[in-house]
Amino acid sequence: MSQTPARLAYVNLFARDHAALARFYQTVFGFAEIASHRSPIYACLEAGGMEMGFNADSSYALLGLSDRKPDGRAPMRTYVTIEVGTPESVDEAVAAAVQNGGRLVKAPYDTYYNARQAVLEDPEGNVFRINHRKGPRLPADEVASPPWKA
């Protein structure tokens, strides 16, 4: 590997309507479009130091992934977590997401690892979390009621 350290640079979602799905994330979170990256099959947003890309269905073939194109509802193998600035921002972003076609999966709650978060689906069924880290993460052996012992 080269001397330059690796970094996660992009998160990409396949979409039936890539432009509409990009607008959903722009509207809910205020991410700006990177217009110079736009093409007929791709839209890209600046998401706080990382790029969030949206690929049209035709991109499956372009990337050699035609055999992995889902039939029907989007399969759940990964999800995106978007960090917001305050616990109240979690509730505000949930409201904006639902108002713009998202679906609430799990209402805002306080996690065992000291965050406030909610779980949603975007208009195309991709799962994402809205999160606010309230303070330092608790070590696993200090969690009062760990879900892994339920």
> pLDDT tens digits for 78-109?
899 999 999 999 999 999 999 999 999 999 99
C-alpha count within 13 angstroms, C-beta hemisphere, residue 119: 8
Domains and CATH numbers, the chain: 1-69 (3.10.180.10), 73-150 (3.10.180.10)
- The Cα 147–Cα 149 span in angstroms is 5
Phi, psi (deg, nearest 5) at residue 55: -105, 135
For residue 142, give every residue at least 6 positions away whose Cβ sits within 8 Å of its Cβ, in sequence order, or none.
Answer: none
Q: What is the mean pLDDT of residues 113-138?
A: 93
| Per-residue model confidence (pLDDT) at position 121 | 95
| Per-residue model confidence (pLDDT) at position 2 | 60
- Higher model confidence: residue 43 or residue 5? 43
pLDDT at 150 over 70: no
| Strand partners of residue 83 | 131
pLDDT at 47 over 80: yes
Q: What is the mean pLDDT of residues 29-54?
A: 95
Q: What is the mean pLDDT of residues 139-148?
A: 82
pLDDT band, very low/low/confident/very high, at 127 (cuts 50, 70, 90): very high
Phi, psi (deg, nearest 5) at residue 33: -70, 145
Task: Assign 10 to helix, strand or coil.
Answer: strand
